[in-house]
Amino acid sequence: MNMVDSAPAMHNLIGSESDSQRTLYPYVTGTSVVGIKYKDGILLAADMGGSYGSTLRYKTVERLKSVGKHSIIGASGEISDFQEIMRYLDELILYDNMWDDGNSLGPKQVHNYLTQVMYNRRNKFNPLWNSLVLGGVKNGQKYLGTVSMIGVHYEDNHVATGFGNHLARPLLRDEWHENLTFEEGVKLLEKCMRVLLYRDRSAVNKLQIAKITEEGVTISEPYALKTFWNFAAFQNPTAGAEGSW
Amino acid sequence: MRSKSHVVLASVNKANSELSSHQKKIFKVDDHIGVAIAGLTADGRVLSRYMRNECINYSYTYESPLPVGRLVVQLADKAQVCTQRSWKRPYGIGLLVGGLDESGAHLYYNCPSGNYFEYQAFAIGSRSQAAKTYLERKFETFMDSSRENLIKDALFALRETLQGEKLTSSICTIAVMGIGEAFHVLDQETVKTLISEFEIVGEEPPADAPDQGSVAEPAPADQGTPADQSASPMDI
């Protein structure tokens, strides 16, 4: 998540002028996004934190957005780049609607468009510093995919970005199955988000869940997860270490 | 002509002499789109190249086939530009564009003026009126027609334009596309078989009653007229 180390070494070699026009390292970042397919469509979860380095600076950042009628997107990484991506997508959907014919862009098309955008930016050494999750339903077909800042993209029944790959995916590999109901899906996602809340230092306890089905998109109001800290080891943390040490 | 799920394009290709080859009038634009032209075939080649390019670019960005309705609008806008610039001339061809998109099979006719229309069945080129008369009689049954009947009706319509000449597989070209079936031109053998099967040579077309077999008026874009050397652009 913190890529500050690798970036500065590079920028002396490539494009010395107009460095101020390129993304060198991320500043305000969002952490993991987790997405799963379920019986009626797709569920995405992300917390609402925007970290400024190691400070949990912003706590109401909406990282899940709808795209057209058939897709939702979740982003981790640089928040300002996500806002730029949303501008690209809104324009894409606008032109798609302007055709005013019976056709509309589905999640697969939006995902591929994003892949091309991310890959092209990476080739110009000016990446959009995000990892995106794109999910949707069109004509009964469910679609869930992800794109990274270098253009790596794939689809799967469950995807995650950042720390979600390390902490949430193993849970999903064990517990995901086809035909999860909405309640089961939310419970599974909350389990993943809780683990991330405990273990990812950039996570905040305020999250949203987005659902997309053939009928449309719903993004929940922000809410918090219940956590448990009543472990014996936390009761008297300094027991056995009295003294000035 | 077209049905809910298929489009058939048919054209008559008469060569100038025994020595020369037939002129190509039906082009594959993508797996799901084909075009038949009448008029200045050189202009046709150029527009086919444009259409193929547009399809490929869309496929590359979106990994999905370009909806034929959008391609047709782009083509029409391109043609319109040529009618408004003093240093350009309109494209000298009419195009019958058949293709598939989300909502099923479609057939469009593009004019040099920049207008485009959707059709159930149509014919263009010289002597297309004869084919149109046939199509007008039968078109109501095309929508629900089967693939085979659609092709059969295309052959019958072609025959109408020949005015007594024998319909053989060497002078006509038939192309088919449908849901689950990529655009392809039927080879000579297949056409020969179809012609003899339907006993078209010198026989009457099937009755008008919409029984399943005969009058499936497929709405393919009928090239109708032979590939006339002197093909005047838009003889409609």
Query: β-strands A130-138, A71-78: how paired?
Result: antiparallel
Count the neighbouring beta carbons within 10 Å of the beta carbon of residue A81. 22
A8, pLDDT greater than 70: no
Each residue's pLDDT expressed in tens, for chain B with a length of 236 residues: 998 899 999 998 877 777 887 788 999 999 999 999 999 989 999 999 999 999 999 999 999 999 999 999 999 999 999 999 999 999 999 999 999 988 889 999 999 999 999 999 999 988 888 889 989 998 888 888 888 888 988 988 888 888 878 888 888 899 999 998 999 999 989 888 888 887 655 555 554 433 332 222 333 334 433 333 333 344 33
Mean pLDDT of chain A: 90
How many CA atoms does the CB half-sphere of A40 hold within 13 Å?
A: 15
Q: What's the one-letter identity of residue B123? A: A
Give helix then strand counts, H and E, for chain A. 6, 13
Cβ-count burial of B185 within 10 angstroms (0-12 exposed, 13-18 middle, 19+ buried)?
middle
* Sheet strands side by side (includes B116-118): B26-30, B33-39, B93-101, B104-110, B116-118
Which position has the higher pLDDT, A68 or B126?
A: A68
Question: Which of A3-7, A162-166, B19-23, B137-141 bottoms out in mean pLDDT, i.e. has the lowest?
Answer: A3-7
d(CA B74, CA B88): 18
Residue B38 neighbours by CB under 8 Å, 6+ apart: B25, B93, B94, B96, B124, B125, B126, B128, B223, B225, B231, B233, B234, B235
Query: How many Å lie between the alpha carbon of B186 and the closest alpha carbon of chain A?
Result: 30
- B234 conformational bin, left if phi > 0, alpha if psi -120 to 50, beta if neither: left
ipTM: 0.81
A7, pLDDT greater than 80: no
Cβ separation B61–A112 shorter than 8 A:
yes
Test the B interface: residue of A89, A95, A103 with most B CBs within 10 Å: A103
Question: Which of A74-78, A171-175, B163-167, B196-200 bottoms out in mean pLDDT, i.e. has the lowest?
Answer: B196-200
Nearest CA in chain B to A117: B61
Which position has the higher pLDDT, A36 or B190?
A: A36
A96, pLDDT greater than 90: yes
pLDDT in tens, A178-235: 999 999 999 999 999 999 999 999 999 999 999 999 999 999 999 999 999 898 878 8
The DSSP code for B87 is T
Query: How many Å lie between the alpha carbon of A44 and the closest alpha carbon of chain B?
Result: 23
Cβ-count burial of B140 within 10 angstroms (0-12 exposed, 13-18 middle, 19+ buried)?
middle
Residue B232's SS3 state is coil
Residues of B in contact with A109 (CB under 8 A): 62-64
